[in-house]
Amino acid sequence: MKLAPSILSADFTRLGEQVRRAEAAGADYIHIDVMDGRFVPNLTVGPLVVEAVRRSTSLPVDVHLMIEEPARYVQDFVSAGASILTVHQEACRHLQATLGDIRSRGSRAGVSLCPATPVHVLEEITDDIDLVLIMTVNPGFGGQTLIPASEEKVRRTQAFLTAAGCTAELEVDGGVNEATAAGLIASGADVLVAGSAVFSGDEIERNLDRLRRAVSVAAR
Ligand code: DX5
Ligand code: ZN
Please choose, from the candidates 90, 91, 84, 111, the residue with its C-alpha nearest in 3D space to the C-alpha of residue 99.
111
Tell me the CA–centroid distance for residue 142 and ligand 1, in Å.
4
pLDDT reported for residue 98? 98
Question: What's the gap between Cα 50 and its chain centre?
Answer: 14
Tens of pLDDT, residues 40-90: 999 999 999 999 999 999 999 999 999 999 999 999 999 999 999 999 999
pLDDT reported for residue 205? 98
pLDDT reported for residue 218? 83
Please choose, from the candidates 134, 210, 213, the residue with its C-alpha nearest in 3D space to the C-alpha of residue 174.
134
Q: Which ligand 1 atom sits nearest the alpha carbon of residue 8?
A: 9
Confidence of residue 219 (pLDDT cuts 50, 70, 90): confident
| Residues annotated catalytic, as ranges | 33, 173
Residues with CB under 6 A from ligand 1: 6, 8-9, 31, 33, 64, 137, 139-144, 173-176, 193-197
pTM: 0.98
pLDDT reported for residue 144? 98
% residues pLDDT > 90 (the chain): 98
Distance (Å, rounded) from C-alpha 137 to C-alpha 157? 16
- Long-range contacts of the stretch 66-69 (C-beta < 8 A, 24+): 66/33, 66/34, 66/35, 66/36, 66/39, 66/40, 66/91, 66/139, 66/140, 67/34, 67/35, 67/36, 67/38, 67/39, 67/91, 68/36, 68/38, 68/39, 69/93
Average of per-residue pLDDT values in the chain: 98
Flag whether pLDDT at 220 surpasses 90.
Answer: no
Neighbours of 170 (CB within 10 A): 21
CB 7 within 8 A of CB 53: yes
% residues pLDDT > 70 (the chain): 100
Residues whose CB is under 5 A from ligand 2 (ion)? 33, 64, 173
Tens of pLDDT, residues 71-83: 999 999 999 999 9
Tens of pLDDT, residues 91-120: 999 999 999 999 999 999 999 999 999 999
